[in-house]
Amino acid sequence: MKTQKTSSNLLIILAAGAAALFVAGCASVGSGNTTALLTAAGFRARTPQTPKQQQMYAALPPYQVERATVKGRVFYVYKDTNAGVAYIGREQEYQRYQQMAIQQQIAQNYYMAAQMDRATAWGWYGAWGPRAFWW
């Protein structure tokens, strides 16, 4: 009975740790990472020059990829307010950006799982290893 309660407490602690790591990992995926992915996907950074471009830039929501249609052509625009630029790409670049973002998220999930597995293994084996004799 006591072993079951101890293991359920350990499971709750591990779940809380995993949730904290997940939230920290999501927080790190911010504007800098998005702009790097957009650039790698082929989006071009443009600074608004004309008053009309500045007006359009001001109307965009910050840090979101938005779809826009101009004269029947589809564009995707990302407004980076810190840098004062807009990243502009077409359908092909947007599809590439989505694929790269998914691949990066999968890689990050594998990395976090490996880190949690390593930490769990260390706690489990460390409790029964040579360290246990010193405590």
pLDDT band at 117 (very low <50, low <70, confident <90, very high): confident
pLDDT band at 27 (very low <50, low <70, confident <90, very high): very low
Range of the domain at 104: 30-123
pLDDT the model gives residue 88: 95
pLDDT band at 123 (very low <50, low <70, confident <90, very high): low
Residue 131 lies in a domain: no
Query: pLDDT by residue (tens digit) across 61-110?
Result: 999 999 988 899 999 999 999 999 999 999 999 999 999 999 999 988 88
Residue 51 lies in a domain: yes
Sheet holding 85-89, edge to edge: 44-46, 85-89, 73-80, 65-70
Query: pLDDT by residue (tens digit) across 51-73?
Result: 998 998 999 999 999 998 889 99
pTM of the predicted structure, to 2 decimals:
0.61
Residue 25 lies in a domain: no
Residue 128 lies in a domain: no
Residue 110 lies in a domain: yes
| Domain count of the fold of the chain | 1
| For range 16-20, the mean pLDDT | 48
Among 5, 7, 6, 97, CA closest to 43: 97
